[in-house]
Structure 1
Amino acid sequence: MSYLLASIMCSVLVSVLLKIARRQKIDIGQAVGVNYIVAVALTMLVLKPDLGNPRAFLPTWWLFAALGVLLPSVFVVMGRAVDAAGIVKSDAAQRLSLFLPIAASFALFGEKLTEGRLIGIVLAFVALFCLLWKSEGGKQSGGMMAQAGLLMGVWAGYGVIDILFKQLAKSGTAFAGNLLVAFCLAGILMFGYLFAKGTKWTKEGVVGGVLLGGLNFLNITTYIGAHRVMSSNPTLVFAGMNMGVIVLGTLVGAWLFKEKISSINAAGISVALAAVACLFYWADIRALFGI
């Protein structure tokens, strides 16, 4: 549980950093690129991956290869989706990617669909719609087909990354090495993208990248740690992470950035808490109410 809570906090702090970065006109692409350099350094220093036997990574080569491509690609797709379809639709697509890893928990990981988890999942989706409900302040530019394609890319990208992290957590002691290779590949691709478009580097972009890298490293490692500790209940990690981030993010946005919470958003927070309670403590709830 502590790993999951730490991952939720780091994820929200990343969003806070990105929101501040926009106000300070920090180039997000530069920050993302530098972030992978920091992530590689921290992986070497903290996780100390065993690189003495390269063959140990062969059975899971497809994991770090897929993550190496998807991690920077989803950042780019998310940025384009925000430009074309707006923040509201893009954020909704990212959070609703929860559907894919939850479906994978039952279809691929052999998890049983219990009564409590079914109720929790239903409540989780109700809460997602409530928390993401915002009035749109104008028409978005771009063709409908292009918008739909970008939003589908965000939805599928984040969902598949969640599933791949679950698989990475199952690789045991080799996960640190796999994570290192994924970060290296992601960094190479991101820097290739930045140089291809002729990015002019700034001090703010580098500093923002260092902070982003530290938070992202903690977020990913604690998230994988949660999957390893709770390996028999991946749904709890998938749903708990997504709901926790949205609830905490909504509260932080209202308190720190004075963002308005509508009555529907407030209802979503309550439903989200109920969903998490059902996912984690359904047996205790049934005993408490005698049902």
Structure 2
Amino acid sequence: MIFLLSAICVSVLVSIFLKVARRQDIDIAQAILVNYITAIILCIFLLKPSLNVSEIMANGTFIVIALGVLLPSVFIIMAKAVQLVGIAKSDVAQRLALFLPILASFTIFGESLTLAKGVGIILAFSSLIALTYKPNPKTNLKNSLKTNHAKTDNSLNIKNTALILGGVWAGYGVIDILFKQMAKLGNAFANTLLVSFILAFVLLFIYLIINKTKWQGKSLIGGILLGALNFFNILFYIKAHQAYKDDPTLVFAGMNIGVICLGAVVGLFIFKEKISKINGMGIVLGVCAVWCLFYLT
């Protein structure tokens, strides 16, 4: 359980960094680029991968390519989603991506569905919906007129919105599944993780060069801290999957619920963010979901 709790805590620290970074006008794309460099260095020195090419080709070729492409791609898609439909809807799409790894638990990883797990899953999704709920702000007449005027334009973007949110949903869901697959490699996951980081760095670097990025010192320095947090987040997450190799649902659901619950508490006490009654109910449901998945299975 220690690995799962550690992964949750570090993931929330990543969220705090991203929140503070936006306030400090740090270019997140540049920070993520350096994040991969930091993660590569930490992976080499702490995990000591053998860099056995034949081992990587035999066990993790698909994982390497898929993660190397998806890690930077999902970041770009998420950024586009936030720009197009806002943070709230993008966050909901990211969290509801839990559906894919939960489905994979029973179809790919051979986990058996029990009554307790079924109840836990229902509670988990109920918790996610409640935790991501945000009431619509009250609008005045002027804003209402603007909204009505924009309906025609918005209707034209329904397809794009569905595609971008679908990309967020599928991207994060598939990444979770790939990390579970990586965990099944045992100690050999270090090789796969390292090459995935390298490929992700190369692809994101090319993307930034094509977009003629203006480099910022503080953004690059911020990426060092982000890289350390991101590396340990992934490491603890993989270790949690290895510790609960027969219960992937617990790790998938526990990670998502834990991050949102702890994030809500941190937001309340550090950033003075308000938590609605529905959000509070979501925290309670989340605790009940993890209890069902952990203690009743």
TM range (shorter): over 0.9
Distance 1:105 1:114 in 2: 13
TM-score, length basis structure 1:
0.95
Q: 1:207 Cα deviation (Å)? A: 1.6
Q: Which residue of 1 aligns with 2:115?
A: 115
Amino acid at match of 2:65: A
| TM-score where L is the length of structure 2 | 0.93
Q: Residues 203-242 of structure 1: matches in 2 within 5 Å?
A: 203-242=217-256
Partner of 1:288: none
Write out per-residue CA displacement over residues 134-164 of structure 1, whole angstroms, 9 at most, x where no aligned residue. 0244769861211111100000000000000
SS at match of 2:82: helix
* Alpha-carbon distance in structure 2 between the residues aligned to 1:230 and 1:127: 22
Partner residue in 1 for 2:73: 73
Instruction: Report Cα offsets for 1:239-268 as digits up to 9, x if no partner.
Output: 111110010011111111111000100111
Q: Does the 8 Å contact 1:34/1:213 carry over to 2?
A: yes
- Structure 2, unmatched stretches of 5+, are 140-146
Q: 1:35 offset after TM fit, Å?
A: 0.4
Partner of 2:143: none
1:150 aligns to 2:167 (yes or no): no
- Residues of 2 paired with 1:50 and 1:107: CA distance? 32
Moved over 2 A (4+): 135-142
Counting only pairs closer than 5 Å after superposition, residues 2-81 of structure 1 correspond to structure 2 as 2-51=2-51, 53-59=52-58, 60-81=60-81
Number of residue pairs aligned between Structure 1 and Structure 2: 282
Q: Displacement, 1:55?
A: 0.6
- Which moved further from structure 2: 245-254 or 141-150? 141-150
Residues of 1 paired with 2:222 and 2:162: CA distance?
31
Q: Which residue of 2 aligns with 1:254?
A: 268
CA distance, structure 2, for counterparts of residue 266 and residue 105 of structure 1: 28
How far residue 174 of structure 1 moved from its aligned partner, in angstroms, is 1.4
Amino acid at match of 1:30: Q
Q: 2: distance between equivalents of 1:146 and 1:69?
A: 21
Report deviation, 1:18. Answer: 0.3
Q: Give the alignment of 1:153-232 within 5 angstroms.
A: 153-232=167-246
Match of 1:289 in 2: none
Residue deviations 1:173-225 (CA, integer Å, cap 9, x gap): 21100000000000000111111101111111012111110000000000000
Which amino acid in the other structure matches residue 55 of structure 2?
A
Q: Mapping of 1:76-115 within 5 angstroms?
A: 76-115=76-115
TM-superposed deviation, 1:54 = 1.2
